[in-house]
Amino acid sequence: DFVSNFALVHSRFSTNTFPSWDRAQPNRVSCHNGEINTLRGNKNWMHTRSGLAVSPYFGTESTRELFPICNDNMTDSGNFDAVLETLCKGGDETLPETVMSMVPEAWQND
């Protein structure tokens, strides 16, 4: 059973892919509604480091079973949410710290 003090309903499909229930926004950890400009970089980062990933919460072998976390059948928000959930549950950083590690700082003229 799951108990929550609030509920969130997101009633539309992803906007940059063909609509399907499989691609509906997951909203498990993040409630993001927009395109992520760093998507390819984030997916490459996760793929590259998948062989080195170890979590004391999951153990060495179980951590490897979590991969691949990203896939091309999910939306950008779905991939972002899957990575955020994995990093939050498998690490010691807080949710805000993990989000900050996933989103690059804004910059202009530098």
Give the pLDDT of residue 97. Answer: 92
| Helix spans in 1-110 (H) | 39-49, 60-65, 76-90, 95-102
Q: How confident is the model at residue 33 (pLDDT cuts 50, 70, 90)?
A: low
Whether the pTM exceeds 0.75: the reply is no
Q: Mean of the pLDDT values across residues 3-8?
A: 75
Tens digits of residue pLDDT in 6-29 = 776 655 555 555 666 666 666 678
Number of H helices, E strands in the chain: 4, 0
